[in-house]
Amino acid sequence: MPNSISKILALPLTDKWLHFVAYNYLAAASTALTLLPEHRLIPTESEIAASAGAPRQDQIDRAIHVGAVVARTASHCFWHPTCLPQALAAMWMLRRVNIPANLQLGVKKSGPAIEAHAWLEIHEQVIIGGQTRHEYLALNPTGEHHQKLSGTS
């Protein structure tokens, strides 16, 4: 842990600030998921439609950077935020700078249990949480079937 903190301290001031902001958004998302019903946090179809449109390349590049910072910051948090708080934190950070991103939720059957996963996309490019997204059946915000990503029924 001290080595990772020294790496963050060696970053330029703007990146240090971005890590600080990410830490706070991760804390806010984790707390909100504990205290509020999820439907208050997940964007509605109308919010998603309002953010439709092709982003510029500089917005995509910034979104990828924010996703990497959120993932890196999450790996150093003592409460170990999972995919949903990470995706929410990145989405909120991007919304603050008017970069529209789509929160994706998916499910898969894992033995007798059902597993869920969240990831964030901008113009179909994954920003955060994309490592295993192909294993999940994506759902739209209302919970209806949206897109079969891979695998069998």
Q: In this predicted model, what pLDDT tens digit does every residue of 77-87 receive, in sequence order?
A: 999 999 999 99
**Full-model pTM:** 0.81
Domains of the chain, residue spans: 2-148
Of 134, 140, 131, the residue nearest 152 (C-alpha): 134
12-20 long-range contacts, CB within 8 A, separation 24+: 15/69, 18/65, 18/66, 18/69, 19/69, 19/72, 19/73
- How long is the chain? 153
* Between 8 and 152, residue with greater pLDDT: 8
pLDDT value of residue 24: 97
Question: Is residue 6's pLDDT more than 70?
Answer: yes
As a whole number, mean pLDDT of residues 38-65 equals 76
Question: Is residue 92's pLDDT more than 90?
Answer: yes
pLDDT value of residue 79: 95
| Interatomic CA distance for residues 50 and 121, integer angstroms | 15
Structure tokens at 82: 């999972």
- pLDDT confidence band for 17 (50 / 70 / 90): very high
| Those residues with Cβ within 8 angstroms of residue 111's Cβ, 6 or more apart along the chain or in another chain | none
- In this prediction, what percent of the chain has a pLDDT beyond 70? 81
